[in-house]
Amino acid sequence: MLVVAKSMDDVDDTFFLLRTLLFIAGLVILLGALVGGWAIATRVLHPLTEIVLTARTIAANARGTRIAGLSRRVRRPPGHDEMTQVVDTFNEMLAALEKVASAQRRFVADASHELRAPLTTIQGNLSFLLRHVDELPTEERRTMLTDAHEETLQLAGLVEGLLLLARTDASAEMPIAVREKADKTVAGHAQQESLLELDHAVLHLVRQLSRRLSVEGSRLKLEVGRIEPVRVRGDEESLRRAMLILLDNAIKYSSTADEAGAGRVKVSLEQVGKEAVLQIRDNGIGIDAADLPHIFERFYRADRARSRLGTGLGLSIAQTLVERLGGAITAESTPGQGSIFSVWLPLAK
């Protein structure tokens, strides 16, 4: 019997080496995967963590009507993937909120300032009158009372304008479906979006204003140009109010325009494509090019308009009302020669 044997040490050594190598390689790969995974996850999730942190900080700092931290922005990760879009959208939302918050702060400050000015005059005049009522000549007393009366009119106009703006803003915030259902009010009147014969509404308003002008003994000529029959969708009260604001302005800023003859205001209504265009032209004081881009801002009044009574709220109210009906108002003007205000409204189908 012959027994042949060979030592397995070589094979065992090779297996051992292989196992060790495999183990070490596996360990390295696992570690690499862990580190890589952790790095990728942190890179991907980091912006999300920042978004959560920013949102929490803003929510925690909101008190009453004050909201702080809107100037914060989340760092934009490199690339153009979904995460970048999320961060960009979040930052855009913050920027929009910041703009609204600062506009609101400015509005409250402006409103308080505008309300305080007439109140100071009224208070001053009345307290002076109370102290010196017996010594003052009748003429001076009358002047002081007239001033105080004019300031009360200004105050009443401001309060009415502010109230109207608040209501218009509140109803613009409602979703359209709720707004239609609410059937509520812009100025305390029932507001229903219905088919409206704009030409009739315009002519009716012009007749009313003509009567008012003749009662007041005004020399201003209120003329009617081309009036085409057009129908639009909208609530009559909003449209009437917007048109009245524009017509009142045209009258107010032209009444002393022409020394040789009285001012002229011309109203026309035409169909242009799929829109109705109501134009109100005047030959009044006009608007400087530097003022023109700002006249629809709340409380904005051009210097050349300041000699006339006004609040600076009319045009912004008219614009809000018209925009709610899907329309727009544009203005053109030549200083010293006159202005044209155009109301564009989509025609009813």
Indicate the residue among 54 and 249 with the shorter CB distance to ligand ADP: 249
Q: Does 263 bind ligand ADP (CB under 6 A)?
A: no
With binding defined as CB under 6 A, does residue 287 bind ligand ADP?
Answer: yes
Among 73, 184, 231, 301, binds ligand ADP (CB under 6 A): 301
Q: Among 206, 243, 253, 276, which residue interacts with ligand ADP (rule: CB under 6 A)?
A: 253
Of positions 232, 305, 322, 345, contacts ligand ADP by CB under 6 A: 305
Among 168, 191, 268, 311, interactor with ligand ADP by CB under 6 A: 311
CB nearer to ligand ADP: pick between 90 and 253: 253
Binding segment for ligand ADP (CB under 6 A), chosen from 5-13, 65-73, 129-137, 295-303, is: 295-303
Residue 47 vs 286, nearer CB to ligand ADP: 286
With 0-12 / 13-18 / 19 or more C-beta atoms within 10 angstroms meaning exposed / middle / buried, residue 250 is buried
Cα separation, 293 vs 287, whole angstroms: 10
Q: Quick check: 283 binds ligand ADP (CB under 6 A)?
A: no
Question: Which segment (14-22, 51-59, 92-100, 296-304) binds ligand ADP by CB under 6 A?
Answer: 296-304
> Rounded to the nearest whole angstrom, what is the least distance from the CB of residue 224 to ligand ADP in the complex?
17
Please give the angle made by the CA atoms of 295, 301 and 302, to the nearest 5 degrees. 85
Rounded to whole angstroms, how far apart are CA atoms 244 and 206?
9
- Please report whether residue 247 would count as binding ligand ADP according to CB under 6 A: no
User: For binding to ligand ADP (CB under 6 A), which residues are involved?
Assistant: 245, 249-250, 253, 282, 284-287, 295, 300-302, 305, 310-316, 339
